Amino acid sequence: MAFIDIEVDGLVVRASLNEQAAPQTSKAVWEALPFEGRAVHAQISGDMFRMLEPAPVGELPVESETYTQHPGSVVFFPPINEIAFCVGRAQFSGQQGHYAVTPLAEIEDDFTEWAQRTNNLNFSGTAPISFRRSADQETPFRRAIPDGPEIGLSFGDATVRARVLADSLGPALADELLEALPLFGEAANHTWAGAMTLVRAEREVRLTHAAAAAGTTFHWPGYLYYDPVGQQILICYGDASCNIQGVPTPLVPLARIIDDIAPYAAVAGSQLLEGAKPIQITRA
């Protein structure tokens, strides 16, 4: 695992290059370090900013193409060697729509201040941005873990932990979710969402306080969601956007997986050929 430091206007974050999914791009960026430029808002992509100058990495293909981003994801757009950063609800876009990009790196830990500063570039104007190899190449990737009760999720032979998003849900909905556990059933891919697991529980999951909660049409890997209309739990594990014939479906984020999502994603990907898998969601 290779780490880089990204500094914008005096604020520094550490990021891990995505060497597994983007080996060519990661290697090219690593060998080009250090380099710098100007950071500007992405304008038509939501909560996203970009480096104005092309990255000095030569000609590269799109690797492990993705059309969705989540806060903390750093992406690369090969046609113009552009590096862009998602700091909120964003999707890399151009005048012709959403574009496929390479998932280049992931920013670690809590980068709230960095995100606030950079998302204000639309008003403040350009700021200096620089990239360099991190002095700390030893400390493992630090994941920001939300506060809230812990729950367990078993899907096929994969088991991961998640934390209930208690602060954003509020006590009434958080308690209602915990009281609904344990849930047992089976799960397969949602037919309108992409990399999104649909949980078909043995009993109805009715979270009455979810109707008043803030839903989102941006669905991020590692999050458990609730559909107040369908009264179903869904779990995003990759590129996903829940919609019905192109109309986005607002979902309420309930919890976030705090372990490596790869084992879960492997099981979720296998069900296309193997069918539904047993699933359990329990209190820790």
| Residues in the chain, overall count | 284
The pLDDT score that the predictor gives to residue 94 is 83
- Is 3-133's fold the same as 150-283's? yes
Architecture (CATH level 2) of domain 3-133: Beta Barrel (2.40)
| Type of residue at 170 | G
The confidence score (pLDDT) of residue 144 equals 84
As a whole number of angstroms, the distance between CA 169 and CA 181 comes to 16
State residue 141's pLDDT score: 94
For the chain, the farthest-separated pair of C-alpha atoms sits apart, in whole angstroms, at: 56
What is this structure's pTM?
0.92
Q: What share of the chain is helix, strand, coil (3-state, %, to 5)?
A: 20, 40, 40
Domain ranges of the chain: 3-133, 150-283
Distances (CA, A) of 219 to 10, 51, 226, 235, 258: 31, 25, 11, 9, 16
**Would you state the pLDDT for residue 57?**
98
Please, what are the averages of pLDDT over each run of 10 residues along the chain (284 residues)? 96 97 98 98 94 98 95 97 97 87 96 94 96 97 91 97 95 96 96 93 94 93 95 94 88 96 94 92 94
- pLDDT, residue 284, reads 86
Predicted confidence at residue 42, as pLDDT, reads 94
The count of C-alpha atoms lying within 13 angstroms of the C-alpha of 191, restricted to the half-sphere facing its C-beta, is 2
Q: What is the pLDDT of residue 79?
A: 96
Fold for 150-283, please state it.
Cyclophilin (2.40.100)
Q: Which residues of 213-225 are buried (b: 16+ CB within 10 A; e: fewer)?
A: bebeebbbbbbbb
